[in-house]
Structure 1
Amino acid sequence: MTLSRRQILAGGTAGVGLTVAGTLPSLAEPAVAAARPDRPRPATGRPFPPLQDDPDGILALPAGFSYKIVTREGVSDLSGGQGKTPAYHDGTGVVGARRDRLTVIQNHELTPYLSAHGVPHIAGTVYDPGAGNAGGCTVITTDRSGNRVAEWVGIAGTVRNCAGGVTPWGTWLTCEETFINAGTTWTAGGQSGTYEKDHGYVFEVTPAESRLQQPQPIKAFGRFEHEALAVEPNLRHVYLSEDAGGPNGLFYRWTAAQGTHLRAGLAASLGDNAGKLEAMQIRLDDASIVPDVAYITSAQLGRPFKVTWIEVPERDARSTPTRKQFADGTVTRGKKFEGVWSTGRGAYIVNSFAFGAADLPADAAKHNGMVWFYDYDDETITLVTYFPHNPAAESEGTFPKYADLTFDGPDNVTVTPWGTLVLAEDGVRASHVLSSVPGGPTYAVARNQLANGISNGAPTYSEFTGPTFSPDGRVLFVNIQVPGITLGITGPWEKYLG
């Protein structure tokens, strides 16, 4: 998540946004259904009750649901005297569950001294000592109800840790959404420094204590403005999104060499040029390449498009950023490739929005969000949810009466234990956590009530990030990014999602 839309948009009036979805067959095998074949696949979902204002002014929820604060920046104590919980909570994943414990790993999307609460440089966790008080990850343990037990630093000395993805072997792959060369200087918060190492990589973070971490980049996965990723269950493919502009970013696939299967310790086991990194090409029936995802609209909801892949010439981008190594028309670009989450059969992929002159080709359709499903076996991609463009969604405003109907800017995504989706909204006006049925309706699950600024005379509300369920479906963890708060939401999830 580069700059929030609230930081890059200004002026104008606001109106009501709509969500369009079509009818299509089930696209992914829900995790619960895979484990229990007697469970039906998701159909249309069930509407959540109206959101009720929180007397504490933090989170509006439907009747029957409640939340607890798991961590809060600058307030919660890290274990072992490491300091306080860092700021700018972002991508988050539950990587382990025991009888009485859950293990959650969380990104902190920070540049040096963006906040007074950066990720502390703890021995065993630091990638780049020159990165200053910047980003990284914390490891959080809770009980099975989401009550925090402990929290410590998993990696530090990285920059803009945005999203990432859980691995089948129980670790977290954290993505740097940046592209910085060693030797670059920085100045912020009255401090200055020089980066000692290149940035723009993926790192593996384990549930282990700080001193046992291995803060090494996985260079085989390329260097670019990473957003999120998903590991295919065959342990040979990794799918990676890029949130970048000028030109728009790409969606990538990394493939292991024949006979190689991924396992814990990726940075040590994979050489810098191991496997093959490729960029996506969406093909029309005549085999021509769709130059930008924005050419596909709600008219194509539910229609699979064939995908092919073209190899990235120079994945470490020493001379040219990876997305600029391809001429327009030879790859399929997209404004703000964001969340990615794997299922047993494929991966869901999000594009947040595209409506500005620099966001998309002049003859492509503006939009306020797209959700795709990529089928691993068929190598096809299908648009499953579409938020059509509304000019009002380009500017701040408040709509108390219609706040829970005006969705735009989906960002992080997770697949629920019942096979439906939960999206974190990073749009304008109110910010929501959304329940989305692929090919079906979208409902508000929660609304951020914690105003963190004023724009055009109206309150502004920070984006939600990092939705992730406990494996048993009991707790939905989700973050408010500013101020950084992790929330554990409980309630009758299966009644509405199952």
Structure 2
Amino acid sequence: MSISRRSFFAGSAAAGLTVAGAQTAAAKPRHISSAVAAGAQLPALSEDGMVAMPPGFKAHRIGTIGVEPLLSDRGGRVVGVTPSNLDGMGAFDRAGVTRLVRNHECRANAKVPVPLVPGTVYDAGCPTGMGGNTVVEVSRSGELVQQWVGLSGTIRNCAGGTTPWGSWLACEETTERAGQTVTSSVDGQAYTLQKDHGYVFEVFPEPVAQQIPLPIKAWGRAVWEGAEIGADLSSAYLTEDTKGGLFYRWTAPEGVTLRPGIATQLGEGDGVLQAAQLVRDGVALEHYGQLTEADLDVAHPVRWVDGGADRQAQTTDLRQQFPGATTHRKIEGVWSDNAGEGLWFTLSTVKDGEHPEAVANQGMIMYYSFAEQTMTLKEYWAKGSYFDAPDNITISPWGGVVIAEDGSDPNHLVAFSPRLGSSALAKDLAERGEWAGPCFGGGRALFANIQSDCTYMITGPMAKQLHR
């Protein structure tokens, strides 16, 4: 997708161009009409003038990279400023405030890494901290109260997910090994990693004393993007953001119910790890890109492929241990629905020539049913659509989903409901790159990050666009 194509659709909508004239090949007009119209008619502006929104919406910054003080603990000493690379995020309400647990997708070249803070450190060999999580306390009016370090000594904390008991699952989107040398862009020094990376961590929206900076090794080691707990509290679902990535299910040993402190509850070989094989008309799909608009709203069965003998990927990448599982180059965010019946996840852009049988597209939104063990394509952004590259995802209080766009500038927060299709909730006029970490809290406020800049709190009449 190009900026000029976005401009074309925005101009077409403003001029009243009919949907049929804009894209005659649409299989389901609702998927096109709302997207085209969304390119224009966003008159409300954020307080900083950088974000456009529908009428009645408001947005303001609650944190900017390199600006606000970062504390060692709730009420602790200052150890830095708001770290770089804002990514996945969860919101947890407390009396009078909302606490955000925010990922920082920092590598060794991060402008402002997460500092190493005792009680939160996984790998002390990470130079000047690198990635991790911050806990951000926000008032109901959207003012930053304080923020502190919740996890440090990790790398590329990308997306994640929430647990039913109110903690955050932070995923490392990398597989660096112990013994690797990395050079910090902050001090120019070389550091040697002391531990393997590529794990999921549980982070609590609480002070440092309640943090458990240990990896959940039972779920395996991979290029993780998102993670969610199943409604039965004895399963987990994980997405992998890399070429040949898979959609995984982990099932607990018989009689085990997951609880706070997952990493202390499980051994590294506990449970069964499997990967999804999507089946259409009796034929297993090699690539999710074989789905097309013709598959919209059709539930396809899933077979779960056994594998993962080398779960810690000491000799073989995890994704190569599940022959026959359906692959994709970028399986992105995942989030459980409000009813405990299933979960939503995103598949980013399929490129031309990516797979012999895959059809190039600009992204797909999927739904997995726990009971039926089926996947359903809910939204399809064909080549030439206004939106592209869906990434992080969250479920709204009204049942519709919000998707963070990580594609061609200008990027959007996209509202999707099965009734209305896709429409824009927010458009980054400053073209600062991807949106990330959408989540709801604080009396139905939407929080989200511009990865390269800041965290916003957005309020307004969202129900109209987000009712299922």
Structure 1 length-normalised TM: 0.83
Kindly provide the CA deviation profile for residues 267-292 of structure 1, in whole angstroms up to 9, marking residues without a partner as x. Answer: 11111111111110111232x31100
Identify the range of structure 1 (78-87 vs 193-202) with the bigger mean alpha-carbon deviation.
Answer: 78-87
SS of structure 2 residue aligned to 1:258: coil
Contact 2:5 2:386 in 1 (8 A): no
Distance 1:23 1:349 in 2: 23
Q: How does 1:239-318 map to 2 (within 5 A)?
A: 239-245=237-243, 248-286=244-282, 288-311=283-306, 312-318=308-314
Distance 1:12 1:62 in 2: 21
Residue 300 of structure 1: how far off its partner (Å): 0.7
SS of structure 2 residue aligned to 1:83: strand
Residue 12 of structure 1: how far off its partner (Å): 11
Instruction: Choose from 161, 168, 171 the match for 1:175.
Output: 171
Q: Where does residue 347 of structure 1 map in the other structure?
A: 343
Q: Where does residue 4 of structure 1 map in the other structure?
A: none
Instruction: Choose from 228, 234, 237 the match for 2:235.
Output: 237
SS of structure 2 residue aligned to 1:406: coil
SS of structure 2 residue aligned to 1:294: helix
Instruction: Choose from 34, 41, 45 the match for 1:50.
Output: 41
Residue 53 of structure 1: how far off its partner (Å): 6.5
Residue 140 of structure 1: how far off its partner (Å): 1.1
Count of residue pairs the alignment pairs up = 435
Distance change (3 Å), C-alpha of 1:317 and 1:83:
same
Write the letter of the residue equivalent to 1:124.
G
Distance 1:495 1:280 in 2: 34
Q: Is 1:219 aligned to residue 213 of structure 2?
A: no
Instruction: Choose from 94, 118, 122 the match for 2:117.
Output: 122
Distance change (3 Å), C-alpha of 1:150 and 1:76:
same
Distance 1:21 1:268 in 2: 49
Instruction: Choose from 438, 451, 461 the match for 1:492.
Output: 461
The structure with higher relative contact order (CA 8 Å, sep 6+) is 1
Distance 1:387 1:336 in 2: 15
Write the letter of the residue equivalent to 2:78.
G
Residue 22 of structure 1: how far off its partner (Å): 4.7
Contact 1:250 1:334 in 2 (8 A): yes
Contact 2:409 2:433 in 1 (8 A): no
Residue 493 of structure 1: how far off its partner (Å): 2.1
Give structure 1 stretches of 5+ with no counterpart. 1-8, 25-43, 391-404, 452-460
Residue 20 of structure 1: how far off its partner (Å): 6.2
Q: Where does residue 111 of structure 1 map in the other structure?
A: 107
Write the letter of the residue equivalent to 1:160.
R
Distance 1:373 1:450 in 2: 32
Q: Is 1:364 aligned to residue 358 of structure 2?
A: yes
Q: How does 1:95-494 map to 2 (within 5 A)?
A: 96-115=92-111, 117-133=112-128, 134-189=130-185, 190-245=188-243, 248-286=244-282, 288-311=283-306, 312-327=308-323, 330-343=324-337, 344-357=340-353, 360-390=354-384, 406-438=386-418, 440-451=420-431, 461-470=432-441, 472-473=443-444, 475-483=445-453, 485-494=454-463
Distance 2:423 2:438 in 1: 15
Write the letter of the residue equivalent to 2:457.
G
Distance 1:57 1:185 in 2: 42
The alignment-based identity, stated in percent, is 40
Q: Where does residue 67 of structure 1 map in the other structure?
A: 59
Contact 2:127 2:183 in 1 (8 A): no
SS of structure 1 residue aligned to 2:69: coil
Structure 2 length-normalised TM: 0.88
Instruction: Choose from 84, 88, 102 the match for 2:85.
Output: 88
Residue 127 of structure 1: how far off its partner (Å): 0.6
Kindly provide the CA deviation profile for residues 435-470 of structure 1, in whole angstroms up to 9, marking residues without a partner as x. Answer: 11136421111111224xxxxxxxxx3100000011
Identify the range of structure 1 (54-63 vs 213-222) with the bigger mean alpha-carbon deviation.
Answer: 54-63
Contact 1:68 1:147 in 2 (8 A): no
Distance 1:150 1:197 in 2: 31
Distance 1:283 1:157 in 2: 40
Write the letter of the residue equivalent to 2:376.
T
Distance 2:4 2:458 in 1: 33
Distance 2:87 2:27 in 1: 27
Distance change (3 Å), C-alpha of 1:406 and 1:82:
same
Kindly provide the CA deviation profile for residues 181-236 of structure 1, in whole angstroms up to 9, marking residues without a partner as x. Answer: 10011124223211110000000111221243221100001100000011112101
Write the letter of the residue equivalent to 1:493.
M
Give structure 2 stretches of 5+ with no counterpart. 10-22, 72-76
Distance change (3 Å), C-alpha of 1:347 and 1:22:
farther
Distance 2:180 2:60 in 1: 41
Distance 1:346 1:225 in 2: 23
Distance 1:471 1:438 in 2: 25
Distance change (3 Å), C-alpha of 1:421 and 1:216:
same
Distance 1:253 1:325 in 2: 14
Distance 2:264 2:251 in 1: 17
SS of structure 2 residue aligned to 1:130: coil
Distance 2:360 2:312 in 1: 32
Distance 1:438 1:175 in 2: 29
SS of structure 2 residue aligned to 1:257: coil
Kindly provide the CA deviation profile for residues 286-323 of structure 1, in whole angstroms up to 9, marking residues without a partner as x. Answer: 2x311000001111101111001112222111100011
Distance 1:69 1:462 in 2: 16
Identify the range of structure 1 (157-166 vs 135-144) with the bigger mean alpha-carbon deviation.
Answer: 135-144
Contact 1:202 1:226 in 2 (8 A): yes
Distance 1:497 1:204 in 2: 29
Residue 103 of structure 1: how far off its partner (Å): 1.5
Contact 2:87 2:104 in 1 (8 A): yes
